[in-house]
Amino acid sequence: MRVLGVAALGTDPPPELAAKARAFVEELSSTCGGSLCLALGGYWGLMRVVVDEALRQGMCVLLFPPVEREDFDYPEGALVVRTGASYRVRSIFLCRSSDVLVCLGGEAGTMQEVFTAYLEGVPVLMLAGTGQASDALERLAPCLDSRCTSEVTVVRDPRELARKACELLSERPSRRARGLG
């Protein structure tokens, strides 16, 4: 099974961003098939929109909540990994478990997940024009620094973002197959 990490806003999203997230998940479901699991850091804000839509589509969902929210009421059908780690540290587990990371827009925590994935050699796909602080990272693409440890690709359309994620996942051996997971 391939794991697609999703970095997303942890607060209530504007309606247009929520609609883009739903369109992204809907396209993922129809394009990638059943061998995909979405990994997220929790079940609130834009993450909740993604999780609810993924479960509605019958997709696998893997959650890495921070210790502060491990006792939160998670939806039936989601696999919850209780690492006992803080917000920032649980993001490392999320990124290292992902074959590809998609950024749907967010604030500092979302940006940390983009940087963590990048530094771990995980390809990053970013949705542009979200109206969130993470949009600033678009200026740095395709590499976040001179090392260029992984490519960061910016996409404007959420459905195209999903198709690119499926394409990347099909081309790239899983982290487990590469001995990294």
Tens digit of each residue's pLDDT (9 = 90 or more) over 133-148: 999 999 999 999 999 9
Q: Which helix (H) or strand (E) holds 19?
A: helix 15-32
Q: Where are the domains of the chain?
A: 2-171
* Of 39, 146, 54, 14, residue with least CA distance to 102: 39
83 vs 70: CA distance, rounded Å: 9
**Quick one: pLDDT at residue 144?**
95
pLDDT band at 1, cuts 50/70/90? confident
Q: How far is CA 66 from CA 78, 87, 93, 163, 173, in A?
A: 15, 5, 11, 30, 28
pLDDT at 173: 64
How would CATH label the architecture of 2-171?
3-Layer(aba) Sandwich (3.40)
Model pLDDT, residue 46: 98
pLDDT, average across residues 91-112: 97
At 39-84, the pLDDT tens digits run 999 999 999 999 999 999 999 999 999 999 888 899 999 999 999 9
Angle between helices 108-119 and 87-97 (to 10 degrees): 40
* Whole-number Å distance between alpha carbons of 134 and 104: 9
> Is 60 exceeded by the pLDDT of residue 103?
yes
Gyration radius of the chain over CA positions? 15
pLDDT band (50, 70, 90) for residue 175? low
